[in-house]
Chain A
């Protein structure tokens, strides 16, 4: 079996998190290759996401990245940070502006609250995906549950 060149994520403890902490950012260049990866990875074959003529006929300036792609990037931002034992409880986001070929999509996040709820060690996050053309194109919020130290 070929070993996957994968990298284990650091396990984060709820006790070590502080309000204002920033998540390590994630940058993805939106290239033509990425459009193909998007169609394959999201299995979304709606042409507005890869066929410029179709997108322009619909009234858009160009093709734009689909929900599955943007969501996957935000999920990666969060799961990279929470580690194996962390649990993504909630993720909400709005597709207000588009990420298009030529953009670099950067996902970021920061801690806005931490408290125990129903016996669970919860951390609230502000997360978003931005690009240099539109600024914050995809604002969102998330809640994660983290292990406490010693658990």
Chain B
């Protein structure tokens, strides 16, 4: 059956997930590993003694939307978190993230407990070199803390595509 982008748009644009709470509070070692990958030795993010002496009073989570979303969700394993894809049906199952626009409203500290709500803002088809009928999904993600304060809002755009073998009918 042919993929019907208009039917998908009608069904999924505006769809909002239930609020999900992170499995764990914001914790030191996940931040440390995140900093390690980009050699970030900022003591505000990795040294509890130093951070306690600053105006913030505790280690901060670097303002990375990726890390905030990790803490607000249930993590990649064990899987207990339904991502927007494949919730929104697409002909291809390969993913490429294309852009993010993140606005921050508050800092995140170790010990905070984050939650997330996601909304589908747009779904459309636009060809890429690999797949002339790639499907793009735009979503808004709101991350709140344990006081129900909005911490950040993320607009994320990713696309899904088919493999060359799938396009060749293999």
Q: Which residues of B contact A28 (CB under 8 A)?
A: 38-39
Mask: chain A, 79-108; 1 = CB below 8 Å from B; 0 = not:
110001101111111110000000000000
Q: Is B52 an interface residue (CB 8 A)?
A: no
Q: Who on chain A is nearest to B65 by CB?
A: A71
- Is the CB of B148 closer than 8 A to any CB of chain A? no
- Measured CA separation A69–B161 after assembly (Å): 22
Contact pick for A72, options B34, B44, B47, B94, CB 8 Å: B34
B124 is an interface residue with CB less than 8 A from chain A = no
A40-99, CB < 8 A from B: 40-46, 48, 57-60, 66-69, 71-73, 75-76, 79-80, 84-85, 87-95
Known: A59-B161, A72-B64, A84-B56. A41 touches B100 (CB 8 A): no
Q: Is the CB of A92 within 8 A of B76?
A: no
Tell me how many residues of B have a C-beta within 8 Å of chain A.
Answer: 49
Q: Do A37 and B66 touch (CB < 8 A)?
A: no
Distance between Cα atoms of A6 and B33 in the complex (Å): 14
Number of A-B contacts (CB under 8 A): 137
| Nearest chain A CB to B100 CB, angstrom units | 6
B75–A94 CB distance below 8 A: no
A110 within 8 A of B: no
Query: Closest chain B residue to A6 by CB distance?
Result: B43
In this complex, what residue of B is CB-closest to A139? B99
Task: Give chain B nearest CB distance to A77 CB in angstroms.
Answer: 9
In B21-64, the 8 Å CB interface with A consists of 30, 33-44, 46-47, 49-50, 54-56, 62-64
Give the nearest-CB partner of B107 in chain A.
Answer: A87
Contact string against A for B residues 95-126, beta-carbon threshold 8 Å, 1 for contact and 0 otherwise: 11111111110010000000000000000000
Asked if B64 and A68 sit within 8 Å, CB to CB, the answer is yes
Please give the distance in Å from B67's CB to the nearest CB on chain A. Answer: 7
Q: How large is the interface on A (under 10, 10 to 19, 20 to 34, 35 or more residues)?
A: 35 or more
Confirm or deny: A5 has a beta carbon within 8 angstroms of a beta carbon on chain B. Answer: yes
Contact of A80 with B102 in the complex, beta carbons under 8 Å: no
Chain A residues, CB < 8 A from B40: 72, 76, 79-80
8 Å CB contacts to B: which residues of A1-29? 1, 3-9, 26, 28
Query: A23–B3 Cα gap in the complex (Å)?
Result: 47
Bits for B133-170, please: 1 = Cβ < 8 Å to A, else 0: 00000000000000000000000000001011100000
User: With A6-B50, A41-B34, A93-B99 given, is the CB distance from A87 to B62 under 8 Å?
Assistant: no
Is A114 among interface residues, defined by CB-CB distance under 8 A? no
Instruction: Decide yes or no: A8 and B55 within 8 Å by CB, A40-B36, A68-B64, A91-B102 being known contacts.
Output: no
Give the shortest distance, in Å, between B89 (CB) and chain A (any CB): 19
Complex CA gap A89/B103 in Å reads: 6
Q: Give the interface of B toward A (CB within 8 A).
A: 30, 33-44, 46-47, 49-50, 54-56, 62-67, 70, 75-77, 94-104, 107, 129-131, 161, 163-165
- Nearest 7 pairs of A and B residues by beta carbon: A41-B37, A6-B43, A68-B66, A59-B130, A92-B101, A37-B37, A94-B99
